[in-house]
A and B are shown apart, each in its own frame.
Chain A
Amino acid sequence: MSTQKHPPKRYRIAVSLVVLAAVLLCGRALDLQFARKSFLQSQGNDRYLRTVTMRANRGTITDRNGEPLAISTPVYSVWVDPGEFLHQGKRWPELSQLLDFDLRRLRHTVNAHADRKFLFLRRQVDPELARRVLALGVSGLSLQREYRRYYPTSEVTAQVIGFTNVDDQGQEGIELAFDAELRGIPGAKRIIQDRLGRVVENVARLRPAQPGRDLSLSLDRRLQYVAYRELKSAMRELGARAGSVVILDPQTGEVLAMVNQPSFNPHRRTEISADVFRNRAVTDLFEPGSTIKPFTVTAALKSGRYHPSTLVDTQPGYIKVGRKTVRDLHNYGVLDVSGVIKKSSNVGASKIALSLPPDLLWRTFSKVGFGHRSSSGFPGERTGKLRHYQGWKLIEQATMAFGYGLSVTGLQLARAYCSIAADGLLPPVTFQRRAPPVNGERVMSARTARLVRSMLELVVQEGTGTQARVAGYRVAGKTGTVHKNIDGRYSRDRYLALFAGMVPASRPRLVAVVVVDEPRQAKRFGGEAAAPLFAAIMADAVRLMNIPPDVLPPTSTRLAAVRPEP
């Protein structure tokens, strides 16, 4: 009886086990639902929710007329999730062939990074190849859209524009200087993807991608082409080591053209030495030689002790300063100040400089920008060297007058000549497009600037720079031939040929500096190597810029244009 009233022991045990199991299950359920909910939820989301970054387009760089100089085009990078991709060994041969990726290397790379979630196989392939890779349908493999920089003007603007690295960051030149503006801000979005990593649904846009700002430079692509073409052919003809040309607008200080040789192709730059990346016109210092004489004369005119017709005795063709001797090529006899410039007499320039107070000479040089970095903001721009006059010895005061003992960049020299071109106003230099009027700094009186300019015209009319003549235009400029200073000693047979000038001299619109590094011995003089190059570039430049001629031909029969017969 009792066995029927009270359930047997076995029954009770069974019930309590069931109850215990139920309690455990409830406990586990509560644990999962509440205690570990957030962890599990996030783990779950990780399986199908992804936050992807969206690359932003880098801003376009254009020249002053809106022609593209650097532009981003879409490319794709192929990446894999190694964990997933490892199971797809069968498909690897096809893939390695398509991507031109050695199979053994592929296996090694993927195995080495098996614990990662993301591995680039090949970066920046063109859209067509990317489409074919994706069509293979290999799981674990995806494409990432990126941008590659394309430079339509290639080597013509290579050093000025610079380039970006594979991650779209500016590395050199304008790309580096204006990186913050050009760079886009990548956006982010959340997506749902399936097991194979394909996008099922876009859930939300967390942050829109912000494209970088476009940049309009002061450069003129046409001038850039002309300058590059002429520089390149002159380099070949002269057998020179390197060269650069800078063209500025003297009213606004805008850099209209800046070219260098040797140059490089910015799209294919792996095999070249970093030496050619340098924008020589702003990073290479040289002693300006005779091209500084106009500023020596400026100081002389400022002092009030000299006029263009004041006589300077340069006989007998040399002058002893302390224990050193300053020489001219020939004995020029008695010259006036214009003649010192025209013949480029070192003795004359030294005599003038020695008769002036050193601080006046120093202040004149310093004011036109020597020894100061320009405002261009170009990466790697050099300051140059101009020692303070308190440390000058007598011989330095003399050599300074004809351009030895101080160093400048091509850009600095061009800017200094702008002050002569713009009636004494020194404009701030810029690579960005700028509308006039620009307030230049007054560094000499308009009268002094005009006097110096007319002396520089004489140089081209009948002095050392006759090869700089441009038909139809009045040209003013100065030649320079500099012995290169190598390891502290002046070389006897290595020269720098220089020409700095402006056109049209009546109202200059273009200022240019031509630097030819180590031209052939037979054509080592600035008047023979650099001046013809200046003329060749300017002849095309005045036409391109629509600058009216200021020398009118004397004949009366004239045509407005020549048209072919229909």
Chain B
Amino acid sequence: MRPLAIIVLFLATISSALSGIWVRHEARELVQQLQALDEARDELHEEWGRLQLEQATWGTHSRLEAIARKNLSMIMPRGEQALVVSP
């Protein structure tokens, strides 16, 4: 009876030690992953910011107006040219 208990306890000790190592390793890998994802998120966020800025620059009111007037030769209809449709 006694030797059996010793063997069981021995194996339990070993496996607990090994699982400790394994869990620690796992934890580190997860931290790495989390870090990588964080960085990816930050980068995407920054790119989103840059794109927003770019869009804002392209969409500047004065730029659009200049394009409409020059390239597309659009004009502002005068008062008597406008038809107001009341709902």
Contact = CB atoms under 8 A, between A and B. Distances in A.
Contacts of B82: 472, 549, 553, 558-560
Given A555-B80, A558-B80, A564-B72, A152 B53 contact: yes
A558 B79 CA distance: 9
Contact of B46 (A74, A472, A544, A560): A74
B52 interface: yes
Contacts, number: 81
B3 to A, nearest CB: 34
Contacts of A357: none
B61 interface: yes
Nearest to A63: B56
Interface in A63-78: 67-68, 71-74
A291 interface: no
Nearest to B28: A201
B74 interface: yes
Main secondary structure of the interface of B (DSSP, over half): helix
A57 B47 CA distance: 13
B45 A562 contact: no
A92 interface: no
Contact of A152 (B34, B35, B56, B76): B56
A68 B52 contact: yes
Interface string B20-62: 0000000010011011000000100110011011001101111
A7 to B, nearest CB: 45
B81 A559 contact: yes
Interface stretch (A202-210, A269-277, A409-417): A202-210
Contacts of A558: 80-83
A72 B49 contact: yes
A442 interface: no
Contacts of A543: 76
Given A222-B61, A548-B84, A564-B74, A71 B79 contact: no
A325 to B, nearest CB: 46
A225 B83 CA distance: 28
Contacts of B76: 543
Given A60-B49, A558-B83, A205 B57 contact: no
Contact-residue size bin, chain B (C-beta under 8 Å from the other chain): 20 to 34
Contact of A562 (B49, B62, B77): B77
A229 interface: yes
B45 A57 contact: yes
Given A222-B61, A548-B84, A205 B34 contact: yes
A544 B56 CA distance: 17
A459 to B, nearest CB: 22
A166 to B, nearest CB: 19
A559 B49 CA distance: 41
Nearest to B52: A68
Interface size class for chain A? 35 or more
A559 to B, nearest CB: 4
Nearest to A563: B74
A36 to B, nearest CB: 26
A73 to B, nearest CB: 6
Given A225-B62, A472-B82, A202 B53 contact: no
A320 to B, nearest CB: 49
Contact of A472 (B45, B74, B79, B83): B79
A135 interface: no
Contacts of B57: 152
Nearest to B32: A202
Nearest to A203: B31
Contacts of A74: 42, 46
A549 B49 contact: no
A549 B79 contact: yes
B46 A73 contact: yes
A150 B53 contact: yes
Contact of B83 (A68, A544, A560): A560
Nearest to B46: A74
B49 A205 contact: no
Nearest to A559: B81
A112 interface: no
Contacts of A202: 31-32, 35
Contacts of B32: 201-202
A204 B31 contact: yes
B74 to A, nearest CB: 7
A212 to B, nearest CB: 12
Given A68-B53, A222-B61, A472-B82, A564 B73 contact: yes
Interface of A: 57, 60, 67-68, 71-74, 150, 152, 189, 201-205, 211, 221-222, 225-226, 229, 471-472, 543-544, 548-549, 552-553, 555, 557-564
11 contacts: A68-B52, A68-B56, A71-B53, A73-B50, A152-B57, A203-B31, A205-B31, A225-B61, A472-B82, A558-B80, A563-B74
Interface of B: 28, 31-32, 34-35, 42, 45-46, 49-50, 52-53, 56-57, 59-62, 72-86
